[in-house]
Amino acid sequence: MKRGKGEDGSKSIDRISELPQCILQRILYFMSQEDAVRTSVLSKSWREIWCTRPNLDLSDATFKGNNGEFISVLENTLRRYCEQRLSLDECSLSCTSFDSTSVSLIEKWIPLITSAGVKNFRLSIVPAHFGHVKLPSVVFETESLRDLHVERFILDQKAIEKTVLFKHLKKLRLEQVCIHDRIFQKIISSCPLIETMFLKSCNTIRSIKASNLRRLKDFYFSSWSDEEDCSIEIYPTSIETIQIESGNILLHQGSNFLNLTSLFLDHVTLSSLDHFSSCKFPSLENVAILYCNGLEESLEESHLHIDAPNISTFGYHGLLIPSISFATTSTEWSSCLYLLMRSDPSFWLLKLHKLLDSLRQSEISVTIHQFRMNDEDIFQENLDLVQDIKGGNKPAVPLEDLKLQGDLSYFSPLLNGLFCICRPRKIGAINYMNAESVLKNLMQGENGNYQDQLRQLWLPDLEEVSLEIYDKNRREWDPTSLSDLPDYEVGKRISTRFALKWRESFWFVFLQRDTRLDEII
């Protein structure tokens, strides 16, 4: 290690190397295994420090296929910890090219690791041939464990034939682990202190009932398979975050999730909307519902109420327009919708109007992807919308941002319907090469065309339309004009959008426009 010079020109003392060994070990604790080994050349004081630090990260990938050398280094290192009675807080063991013979060595290594009092243990095995290997039972005899992370193993009855000694375990992470319900239930029933449960690609689990985990805070489950969905019962005692990707969720009726702040559901079946709607979420801030089943029935049968008075963000992605309502909130919040508008939409705009109205308290952004639409579908949607409007006063809903994706030819007729139910401040995601065409379709129409007549229902409320371009350097939007747009260049991405200014009061008074509506119909 280089030594600096003192004021008299002599070499100063290497103060770092003179620090107590426990502090030097703490410094190496935050380094990778490779960097920690490199410190051995700094000075005599550092030569053996890396061998005694309280965390090990051992992977055969660093030995570039030389399994013999990896095994030798690993066994010598573990033996040294045992002989010197060194404390080991964390250990990560990753084997990426093991065969059946090498796997048997794990049963010898794990007792050496556990004898050092390891608290956080990560074990990952990738067999040389496709498949999984059985996890040695000694793992479940490690009473000191606080954090267990296991990848690519089979957990069978033999692995837990003895008592599971996980009384202190707080984090359990299983990835690509083959485990069945009865074995999984036995494990978690022996871990009353678990706070974090992370289950990824454990496709053989069919049921999760964690009623005994009264300290569980963070729950993650992801299983993308063609098999039967896993049924998951969530208990509200201490849970703070829930993220489920593919599964079947059941909430108990009337549950009060006092501590839940984040709920993320992706391709999840909502077993009972009545149970969900009866629950209370006083601390819930972030909600995301993506392509979930259970919302596809008639509006009367599939209404979902979310009682979350402190909500901050709501996101919905889906092929269908759900019927969702929210409890009254006293805070500012935002909602983001990504919707796929397909052929034969069946009162799509009417359902969207109802959804937007339920989100009126929030700042709303909507992205609509037109999927296999045609003129007849949009025409019928607009007629259905007009019939609904004719029944009484229908207030439009303000939007912060509206994006339309799909065939540009449907842009104008779809906007006609959308502008009857909402008032977007921005229309984005427009290719700047199409800006002129979009502006023309937005503001002009053919005389006598039903679309042009429908346009007159919202056009009087539109005071101004301006074009904006995004400055990537300043990360800001600037006003521009069609004539000022840059010339097209291959590979150059330029973002443009339209800014719309509406009358301050844009409540529809359609009873005064019955004559015009009759003409359109």
Q: For residues 98-126, b (16+ Cβ closer than 10 Å) or e, as one string?
A: beeebbeebeebbebbbebbbbbbbbbbb
Predicted local distance difference test score (pLDDT) of residue 288: 97
pLDDT in tens, 444-453: 655 445 566 6
The 10 Å Cβ neighbour count of residue 221 is 21
In the predicted structure, residue 133 carries a pLDDT above the cut 90 = no
Residue 105 has pLDDT above 60, yes or no: yes
In the predicted structure, residue 200 carries a pLDDT above the cut 50: yes
- Tell me which of 428 and 378 has the higher pLDDT: 428
Going by C-alpha positions, the residue among 367, 388, 398 that lies closest to residue 504 is 398
What lies within 8 Å, CB to CB, of 14 at 6+ separation is 1, 3, 43, 45
Predicted local confidence at residue 507, as pLDDT:
42
Whether the pLDDT of residue 518 is over 50: the answer is no
Residue 245 has pLDDT above 80, yes or no: yes
Choice between 300 and 395, residue whose per-residue pLDDT is larger: 395
Q: What share of the chain is helix, strand, coil (3-state, %, to 5)?
A: 30, 30, 40
Helix and strand totals (H; E) in the chain? 13, 27
* 375-390 helix and 411-419 helix, angle to the nearest 10 degrees: 10
Of the pLDDT bands very low, low, confident and very high (cuts 50, 70, 90), residue 144 is confident
Mean pLDDT, residues 155-178 taken together: 79
Q: Is the pLDDT of residue 258 over 90?
A: yes
Query: Which helix (H) or strand (E) is 363 found in, with range?
Result: strand 363-371
pTM of the full predicted structure? Answer: 0.82
- Say if CB 412 and CB 441 are below 8 A apart: yes
Residues in the chain, overall count: 521
Q: Model confidence over 336-383: pLDDT tens digits?
A: 999 987 655 567 788 888 899 999 999 999 998 876 566 566 666 666
CA distance 304 to 269: 13
Q: Are 90 and 54 in contact (CB under 8 A)?
A: yes
User: What stretches of 395-492 adopt beta strand conformation (E)?
Assistant: 397-399, 401-405, 422-424, 426-431, 462-471, 476-480
Rounded average pLDDT over 128-138: 69
Structure token digits, residue 288: 């995301």
Higher confidence at residue 49 or residue 207? 207
User: Among residues of the chain, what percentage have pLDDT more than 70?
Assistant: 69
* Mean pLDDT of all residues in 17-32: 67
Taking 80 as the threshold, does the pLDDT of residue 428 lie above it? yes
Going by the DSSP 8-state scheme, the letter that residue 280 receives in this structure is B
**CB atoms closer than 10 angstroms to residue 411:** 19
Which H/E stretch holds residue 368?
Answer: strand 363-371
Tokens 């359990």 appear where? 172
* pLDDT tens digit sequence for 464-516: 888 888 888 888 999 988 788 776 555 567 788 889 999 875 544 433 433 44
Average predicted confidence (pLDDT) for the chain? 78
- pLDDT given at position 382: 64
Query: What is the distance between the terminal CA atoms of the chain, rounded to a whole angstrom?
Result: 87
DSSP 99-124: -HHHHTTHHHHHHHHHHTT-SEEEEE
Higher model confidence: residue 224 or residue 280?
280
The span from the CA of 477 to the CA of 357, in Å, is 29
**Where is pLDDT greater, at 449 or 309?**
309
Distance CA 426, CA 467 (A): 10
Higher pLDDT, 60 or 389: 60
- What is the per-residue pLDDT for 227? 74
Band (pLDDT 50/70/90 cuts) for residue 51 is low
Predicted pLDDT at 36: 64
Q: Distances in Å between the alpha carbon of 219 and those of 14, 126, 192, 216, 453?
A: 48, 26, 15, 7, 53
- 18: confidence class by pLDDT, cuts 50, 70, 90: low
Tokens 């996980």 correspond to what residue?
166
Provide the residue ranges of all domains of the chain, joining segments of one domain with +: 346-521
pLDDT of res. 225: 76
Q: Out of 51-60, 140-149, 399-408, which region has the weakest mean confidence (pLDDT)?
A: 51-60
Mean local confidence (pLDDT), 45-56: 69
29 or 208, which is more confident = 208
In the predicted model, is pLDDT for residue 4 greater than 70?
A: no
